[in-house]
Amino acid sequence: MTATHNWRTYEGSNLSPALASALNMFVEQGYHGTSVRQIAAGAGLSVPGLYHHFPSKQDLLVGIMDASMDELLYRTRAAEDGAGAAPSDRFDAVVESLLLFHIHRRDAAFVCSTEIRSLDAANRAAYIAKRDEEQRLLDVIVADGVESGVFDTPHPADASRAVTTMCVGLATWYRSDGPMTPSEVVAVYLDIARRTVGAVTGILE
């Protein structure tokens, strides 16, 4: 993505054919229930051709999770950078970005949440480091909001984690053919997020 990319805009998959095939298979069958042969067939590749780019099934899972977290971090930083200095505006932008990501990248977010258990120890640690980096971005915003008086919660770190957990949870239930559009989900869940951090009445209107 370029520096001028709109963090609200999603234009199809950001994955290579091999990773896209692996993602589809992992969603449908789980990591351990999927064979490399199935992934190769879904990508239109031979098994040796797939192994040329990804030496193992673990590398495919890591590729999906790295691409997902890198994109999420990019979009989160772009959202915050464009929001200005006010903690309330930064909060709104980052939460909206989290919500949109877990709507539009639902399958990837689902695999990241459910298949972290399938990562080797070193890969798991690397993924958790990126996930923690994402969480810290929101933690700082909420702490800044409490310090400046626009948020009123005695538990800023826990409130921040609760907001993130709520956003991540979208990947388990949101459906594009469901009763709510992405903009409607964002409106409802942003309101819930504001209440979670104790947004002072009138500040965020």
Q: For the chain, how many structural domains are there in total?
A: 1
Asked whether residue 132 is domain-assigned, the answer is yes
Inform me whether the pLDDT recorded for 205 exceeds 90: no
Asked whether residue 136 is domain-assigned, the answer is yes
Please tell me the pTM assigned to this model. Answer: 0.92
pLDDT value, residue 201: 65
Asked whether residue 6 is domain-assigned, the answer is no
Q: Give CA angle at 28 (179, 40), nearest 5°.
A: 130
Asked whether residue 50 is domain-assigned, the answer is no
H/E element holding 160?
helix 156-173
Asked whether residue 68 is domain-assigned, the answer is yes
Tokens of 179: 């009763």
- Domain span including residue 174: 57-196
CATH of the domain at 98: 1.10.357.10
Tokens of 185: 């989900």
Asked whether residue 191 is domain-assigned, the answer is yes
Stretch among 105-119, 141-155, 188-202 having the lowest mean pLDDT: 188-202
H/E element holding 88?
helix 87-104
pLDDT one-digit tens code per residue, 28-71: 999 999 999 999 999 999 999 999 999 999 999 999 999 999 99
Q: Are 22 and 60 in contact (CB under 8 A)?
A: yes
Tell me what the pLDDT averaged over the chain comes to.
94
Asked whether residue 46 is domain-assigned, the answer is no
pLDDT one-digit tens code per residue, 83-110: 999 999 999 999 999 999 999 999 999 9
Asked whether residue 39 is domain-assigned, the answer is no
Mean pLDDT value across residues 136-152: 97
Tokens of 59: 């590398």
Inform me whether the pLDDT recorded for 114 exceeds 60: yes
pLDDT value, residue 200: 80
